[in-house]
Chain A
Amino acid sequence: MEEKKPLRHLIEIRDLTVAEIDSLIALAGDIIARPDDFADTCKRKKLATLFYEPSTRTRLSFEAAMLELGGQILGFASQDSSSASKGESVADTIRVVEGYADIIAMRHPKEGAPVLAAQYASVPMINAGDGGHNHPTQTLTDLTTIQREFGTLEGLTIGLCGDLKFGRTVHSLIAAMVRYPGTHFVLISPQELRPPVYILDSLARETNCKCTESRSLDAVIDSLDVLYMTRVQRERFFNEADYVRLKDSFILDTDKMRGAKQDMIVMHPLPRVNEISVAVDKDYRSRYFEQAKYGKYIRMALILELLGLRQ
């Protein structure tokens, strides 16, 4: 039997096989069921959160995860409070920090910064977001939410709504879900914000999955198992008139929810601005706040796995 190489870093979601993702989600499930059993698993271990740009939500999720495993945390929350503002390179920072921490989560505005960091790090590196590029723990969070809600990641109809052109969470969710047979992607966006051609091409080549496009959420909402909302930003449009004309078609409100299946779930990577009206929060099908909670549990599972502390 071939010896399995231990996973050391998580830079992009494709670093994980489907089996590894399934096993992480199962571990997150064990943690949810028996949190006390994991309360000391990372005792005397330290997580460094190196955030070269602020992202309070993601940073708190990582730190809460480590604290719940009995570990400790250190790091910085923005570039101003780090030596990087004095011009220190990522490569140098990593070589210093790895002497203080057992595992590193890094967020950086430049694309590929975690790839570079992983070349120098002798401890596991987690990409906590690199510019508009990858954000694998968000994708793990999304997959965990879907799996926990439906008991499977196969054969689901996933509606992705809003800015599908620039939205990296959507790109990476597609890259992950395309590996599960029977996925039907419904891409709901204005013409201007369709997914990039390379993604549409890769979906067209896929024989396991189906993909349809729609310019209207109302027209397709009744077919969806999951509705994944993203924000349509004003600055993505060339003129104000187009934005005003289109924005309402991609805002989820209680009216549109009437057309949805009884067991559809609504997801959103948060923070939300106005793309989901606050009234929808009370709908039993909204899951975006649960999603954030799953984010903590899957990060706990990931930390255990990367540290080799999984029992």
Chain B
Amino acid sequence: MKIDEIHNGYVLDHIRAGRSMEIYRALGLDSLDCTVAIIKNVPSRKLGKKDIIKIDEDIVLDLAALGYIDPNITINVIKDGLLVEKQHLKPPAVLVNVVKCKNPRCITSTEQEIDQIFRLSHSGGKDVYRCAYCEMQAGTQ
């Protein structure tokens, strides 16, 4: 499958190898009717190995979720079979309902219906996301 096989949609390129299924779930691609192709372990000059996802529908992409999972992804926007735009991601400042806080002492563990909010902060020269409620780093507990 080549890019020109996508009519209107996206090619998500430079996904770090192994991350494509996480993105598939985060973007809700399983609920789409259109053609979705996941190509794993493609040889890459930049990354050694990479994954690629092709989506043949002009859906609204959750850029915050993508930027959180892998900010190095390139988004190729395809219109009428042609590459019309290349988008590069940056880590989003705020994540709403992308990750869940794993801190059992956090108010989000008991209070129903509230948004899971994480904010980008810089700690020791690294970008980390912290829960807006308890400040726990995403993915830790």
Contact = CB atoms under 8 A, between A and B. Distances in A.
Tell whether A and B belong to one assembly.
yes
Contacts, number: 53
Contact of A116 (B103, B107, B135): B107
Contacts of A132: 105
Contacts of A112: 106-108, 131-135
B106 to A, nearest CB: 5
Interface string A195-207: 0001001000000
A133 B107 CA distance: 11
Contacts of A201: 123-124
Nearest to B131: A112
Contacts of B103: 111
A131 B105 contact: yes
29 contacts: A89-B111, A89-B113, A90-B107, A91-B114, A110-B107, A110-B111, A111-B103, A111-B106, A111-B107, A111-B133, A111-B135, A112-B106, A112-B108, A112-B133, A112-B134, A113-B107, A113-B111, A115-B107, A115-B133, A116-B107, A116-B111, A116-B114, A131-B105, A131-B134, A132-B105, A133-B105, A133-B135, A198-B123, A198-B124
B87 interface: no
A32 to B, nearest CB: 34
Contacts of A116: 107, 111, 114, 133
Interface string A87-118: 00111000000000000000011111101100
Interface of A: 89-91, 108-113, 115-116, 130-133, 198, 201
Given A108-B107, A116-B111, A132-B105, 13 more contacts: A89-B112, A90-B111, A91-B111, A109-B105, A110-B106, A110-B110, A111-B134, A112-B135, A113-B107, A113-B111, A113-B133, A133-B134, A201-B124
Nearest to B112: A89
B109 interface: yes
Contacts of B133: 111-113, 115-116
Contacts of A198: 123-124
Contacts of B105: 109-111, 131-133
Query: Could you say which of B103, B106, B108, B133 has the most chain A C-beta atoms within 10 Å of its C-beta?
Result: B133
B128 to A, nearest CB: 10
Contacts of A130: 107
Nearest to B110: A110
Nearest to A116: B107
A113 B111 CA distance: 9
Contacts of B123: 198, 201
Closest 9 CB pairs of A and B: A112-B133, A111-B134, A110-B107, A112-B134, A113-B107, A112-B107, A115-B133, A111-B105, A131-B105
